Amino acid sequence: MKKLLVVALCLVMVFTLAGCGGGSEDSGSAGGAATGSTIYVLGPTPDHGWTAQAGTYADQKVAEINDAGTYKAVYMASSSGEEQDDNVQTIIANGDAAGVVFFALDDSAKSGQEALIAENIPFISFDRIIEGPDKSAILNFSGDNWQCGAGIAYWLQQQGLKPGDTLVTLIGDNGTVCSRRQEGFEQFLKGEIQYSDEATGQSYDSTETWTQEQLDTLTADYKVVCDWSADGAYEYLEQKLDDIVATAKGNNGNLFVFSQDDEMTFGFLNLLEGNAASDATKADLEALNVYVSAIGGMAELYEVFDGTSSQAPIADKYFDNVMSVYFSPSMMNSAIDYMLDYLAGDWSFSTGDGFYEPVWIVDRDNVGDYEGFKGHE
């Protein structure tokens, strides 16, 4: 009878320990041994621009991991968040995932991240951080989008931006990347954050504290979502440029452009290079003080800065100054390296943490110090 009781108690302890060891909500904040052997990387189908280059870097990094032989790595390219959700189902069905690096293409990829969470598969959220699943990611990693916005606000202020001026805002999309860039832009002007320039090692404060009402007025009239496209910016400016120029001319002769991506800045250049804008509007634009921003670091835009591009004379004629905040797609490699660190147990982040690479201003003065990435369509 005692023997039967001992056996029964042992069985209870075995099942209890087994229950405690599985299904943890923490997807491994301390890092450690992987339960699978494959690193999956979800990202864009290479076509053009920043996303294409991020995909190219990912492809190369995956090949390096496979050559090293510790893990198998697979790059799964997609053209939409819905397609990424389907890829997640494939990953789950394969049953061999050590971890996933997830560059969400749009917010519809949220259900794919939720499926990884349900299966307790560790993932790093890269670039587009989707709210909700971000709290279960082993790391949320991107360039510092708040500082991108702060850097542009600082630079435009140095060019003379004041409350009541005419501003055009060219937005990539309605996701966290652009919302954070807008937040950083406004937070800097309100005096809530500094702009910290990694290249100079200096931090800068707004020279004037703006109110939210002044910011709302600044951004009320001329803003558009361009879907990260030069064509999107071109089409908007083709419709609105006459009005924008007339407003700036009647205001104080200054025009400022808060472009949240290099591609959209190219949309403005393309418009001025062609015949879409009237000669009268172009003449008025040339007479204005025009200051144009961007974010990215495309080699083609750097060639505009240094004068070697065929579009450099257009920029020289119509823009008094132009810049781009350095935001390299090579960060995709860093995201994959973080997954390798996690799997090796070399990990200091906690689940849900965010880490953001520093950014800095590149303009005509320092463009020779940097190599841009190819990708303009």
Torsion 342-348-352-355 (CA) sign: negative
Length of the chain: 377
* CATH class of the structural domain 36-137: alpha beta
Phi, psi of 253 (to 5 degrees): 85, 10
- Which has the closest alpha carbon to 181: 219, 136, 230? 219
For the residues of 342-368, what is the DSSP string, one character each? HHTT-----TT-EEEE--EEEETTTGG
201-260, pLDDT tens digit by residue?
Answer: 999 999 999 999 999 999 999 999 999 999 999 999 999 999 999 999 999 999 999 999
pLDDT of residue 48: 62
Q: CA 104, CA 129: separation in Å to the nearest integer?
A: 8
Low-confidence ranges of the chain (pLDDT < 70): 1-34, 46-48, 375-377
> Cβ-count burial of 6 within 10 angstroms (0-12 exposed, 13-18 middle, 19+ buried)?
exposed
pLDDT of residue 236: 98
- Which has the closest alpha carbon to 99: 367, 366, 292, 336? 336
Q: CA 120, CA 114: separation in Å to the nearest integer?
A: 10
pLDDT of residue 30: 56
187-207 in b/e form (b: 16+ CB < 10 A) is: bbbbeebbbbbeeeeeebebe
pLDDT of residue 207: 97
Beta-bridge partners for 101: 41, 124
pLDDT of residue 34: 56
pLDDT of residue 286: 97
Which CATH number applies to 145-327+360-369?
3.40.50.2300
Beta-bridge partners for 72: 38
Given this chain, do its domains 36-137 and 145-327+360-369 carry the same CATH topology?
Answer: yes
- Which has the closest alpha carbon to 280: 255, 245, 250, 251? 245
Domain boundaries, the chain: 36-137, 145-327+360-369
Q: CA 158, CA 206: separation in Å to the nearest integer?
A: 9
- Which has the closest alpha carbon to 82: 47, 50, 42, 121? 42
Give the DSSP H or E segment for 216: helix 212-218
